[in-house]
Amino acid sequence: MTPAIASALMPLMRGLDAETAHGIALRALALGLAGQDRGADHPSLATEVAGLRFRNPLGLAAGFDKNAEAVLPLLRLGFGFVEAGTVTPRPQAGNPRPRLFRLTEDQAVINRMGFNNAGLDSYLARVRALPRLLPGVFGANIGINKEGADPERDYPALYEALAPYADYVTVNVSSPNTPGLRDLQGEERLASILAAINARRAGLAKRPPLFVKIAPDLADDALGPIVEACVAQGITGLIISNTTITRPASLRSGLKDQAGGLSGAPLFALSTAMLRRCHHIAQGRLALIGVGGIAGAEQAYAKIRAGASLVQLYSGFAYAGPVLVRQILDGLAALLVRDGFTSIADAVGKDA
């Protein structure tokens, strides 16, 4: 099967509960049934961020492959990088179902999954089994359990466990579906967590770059202190952004009032505005990854011009399927040529 055929079959899944359909799709991907991308990336798409070489700047965001079940097949679809997770120290079931909702009219998704995952041991078993040389970059997204958590203990332990295998690690302190998690974005608490990770990190043989994923709902006056806390702790960069708990007035779906985080097209403007502000505040001191509402090359390019060195998909990929990856990559290359850029790096922040 090819990515195009796999994408053409996706409408057949629309009649299923969203979480059931996602599980089937993930299993099919893990078995390699979606095929692989046969296209060639334009040389202008290659980029280096945080000392890592990316064949292209397009990644798959955390949340799609929570348990690292399909990292290699996903990379074979053409992604420059795949971020798997969020993984927590212990397995947890997450929130009661239903907890994943398609807002088809809005090309959006609402989820209140609650960090459902099989836990660190299961995740580690899968990443240890990955080939040493992957066709892209592998990122691990880490979080804390709903009960019995100690962030200053748990995040460093997760980082240490995954450091030998991950190319980079993301600290998730911004999911709206774990009570109290977003409170960890406060300047003092975030600095405490990052300092605890750094203390553990110092003694490791391999120290993968560290990113922090933040919420799009932060007040304007909170963003500066977060940036400064990350810079002070030597953090590599920020992922902007997680899902939003706001509900734009433009939403049409009857499911728009479901509790949880909203992602997809309605998140684009909010997350891109935050990305632009962060680029202005950071002044090149942090690498930025833009995520939220990307469903085509134009949106990916807008994130890059707003300050993102890399971009990630989730909801757009869930709606359009594997064929979207090559469409975005070819479109991005064409946009760079149109505007006279010879590389992705040349376009970063041009509109910020």
Specify the 3-state DSSP secondary structure of 177.
Answer: coil
Beta strand pairing call for 237-240 and 210-214: parallel
Per annotation, catalytic residue among 175, 271, 309, 315: 175
**3-class secondary structure, 66:** coil
**Residues contacting 154, CB < 8 A, separation 6+:** 88, 89, 144, 145
Burial bucket for residue 145 (CB in 10 Å: 0-12, 13-18, 19+) = middle
319: DSSP letter: H
Q: How many CA atoms lie within 13 A of 159 on its CB side?
A: 31
Number of helices followed by number of strands (H, E) in the chain: 12, 13
Measure Cα distances from 223 to 205, 215, 230, 278, 327 in Å.
32, 10, 11, 7, 33
What is the four-CA torsion angle of 311, 312, 316, 322, rounded to 10 degrees? 110
Q: In whole angstroms, give the CA distance from residue 231 to residue 180.
A: 24
- DSSP line for 211-252: EEEE-TT--HHHHHHHHHHHHHTT--EEEE---BS---TT--
Distance, in Å, from the CA atom of 177 to the CA atom of 205, rounded to the nearest integer, reads 34
User: Scanning the structure block, which residue is given the tokens 């997809």?
Assistant: 264
Q: What is the DSSP letter of 209?
A: -
Structure tokens at 324: 């979207």
Tell me whether residue 7 is one of the annotated catalytic residues: no
Parallel, antiparallel, or unpaired for β 210-214 and 81-87?
Answer: unpaired
249: Cα separation from own chain's centroid = 25
Q: What are the phi and psi torsion angles at 268 (to 5°)?
A: -60, -55
Residues classed as catalytic: 175
